[in-house]
Amino acid sequence: MVGVPPLPALVCTQEGCGQGLDCGGRSGAARTVRLALVNITGAERTTGPQGLCVMWRFAVNSVLADDVAIDLGTANTLVHVAGRGVIIDEPSVVAIQSRAGSRDVLAVGEKAKQMLGRTPEGIETIRPLRDGVIADFVATEEMLRHFIRQTKTIAGFIRPRILVSVPAGATPVERRAVYETALSAGARKVFLVEEPVAAAIGAGLPVDEPTGSMIVDIGGGTTDVAVLSLGGVVQARSIRCAGNAMDEAIVRHVRRQHHLLIGEANAERIKVEAGSASTYVNGETAEIFIRGRDLREGKPKTVILGPHDIGEALTDPIEQIAEFIQRAIEDLPPEISTDICERGIYLSGGGAKLPKLDSEFERRLGVKVHLPEKPENCVIEGSAAILRQIAERDHLLIKP
């Protein structure tokens, strides 16, 4: 192939030969891969003793390797593969069995989440990320390794380039931990980007124009705020108050008002099925039956909660987030803050799907708030877009 720069070839594993990509004596599956690659590259060379080996040198490494974008969230992990879209959207949960001094991974993602609170002695289900950063390095690496394996194609023996989103307020040590974990999980090269920056691009904000655009990404562990203009980051900050804090607030409210003990999984279900960010009644009558243990009598007890109850329970975390956004606006240059007041604020992340959250922020901030069609996918779609234009968007990446 004329003009093709030489690239390192993989080594043949046939005994007595170490110079080829593969040999004719391998399995049928290997021959299928080999033929497919010949059709892609149009280049092959016979070498080695008895001419049994075939070596290919590829013009572009990406012919074989997939570019993978990962939204490594406290609650859920999303994985986007170039040309295939989002192929993984699962809870960030790992089930581990401890025996004879070793820790073995039993399940990852949805299967592991189903085990929460139901495991016998010797098995634990853990969330390896807390407040958007890694809390358990081994479990996070195993979870990433599991998800990366699912992205492999027939030609998946080349390690992929991976872009991982991290909270805007992550410290250098926390960013380095994500970087090293992704490398250990099988990445060829790792890039990092702040979550709200990726969310702004994923939400379709005009980040390259000479006007300010603000995005608020409400995840499971953190709420991140970023303001972009002229293709660069004007401001990015983070607060550790988001979806998980809302679940904890519901647990406390039910305990205080109804003397009922419920778990965080039950609180999350309440938030999703009957949640509301507002305590104002507007005709909605959605109610939810919850069952837990009565703290005074120790017996099972059932109570009914409506949107007003959930709105009251979520008052504190919503107020914290609103004040955080207000401080971010106050710290902006006058011209940028004027742009924000005129264009409004955009929400992203799974926490942004809470009913009436946008109208509640509008009431508290006095600024128009917009909600994209799929706020939970903004970060992963933006990360994938950055990875596709990595040379042009290099200035948006952060160093580990």
Helix (H/G/I), strand (E/B), else coil: 381? helix
> Do 215 and 189 fall within a single domain?
no
Contact criterion met (CB below 8 Å) for 254 and 305: yes
Decide if 157 is inside a domain.
yes
pTM as predicted? 0.78
> Do 1 and 147 fall within a single domain?
no
Between 371 and 138, the more confident residue is 371
Tens-place pLDDT, residues 154-180:
445 578 899 999 988 888 998 999 999
> Do 268 and 186 fall within a single domain?
no
> Do 54 and 71 fall within a single domain?
no
> Do 158 and 209 fall within a single domain?
no
Give dist(CA 381, CA 383) in Å, integer: 5
Tens-place pLDDT, residues 368-394:
999 999 999 999 999 999 999 999 999
> Do 275 and 352 fall within a single domain?
yes
Q: Which of 79-88, 127-136, 257-266, 271-280 has the lowest mean pLDDT?
A: 271-280
- Under the banding of pLDDT at 50, 70 and 90, the label for residue 305 is confident
* Tally of domains within the chain: 3
What was the pLDDT predicted at 102? Answer: 81
> Do 227 and 360 fall within a single domain?
yes
> Do 367 and 250 fall within a single domain?
yes
- Under the banding of pLDDT at 50, 70 and 90, the label for residue 331 is very high
What was the pLDDT predicted at 290? Answer: 87
Give dist(CA 112, CA 223) in Å, integer: 25
Tens-place pLDDT, residues 218-277:
999 999 999 999 988 999 999 999 999 999 999 999 999 999 999 888 888 888 888 777
- For 394, the domain range is 67-92+127-195+383-398
> Do 142 and 239 fall within a single domain?
no
> Do 31 and 169 fall within a single domain?
no
> Do 278 and 329 fall within a single domain?
yes
- Give the CATH number for residue 75: 3.30.420.40
> Do 230 and 355 fall within a single domain?
yes
* CA nearest neighbour of 75 among 271, 227, 236: 271
Give the tokens for residue 197. Answer: 């920056």
Mean pLDDT for all residues in the chain: 81
Give dist(CA 23, CA 46) in Å, integer: 9
Decide if 12 is inside a domain.
yes
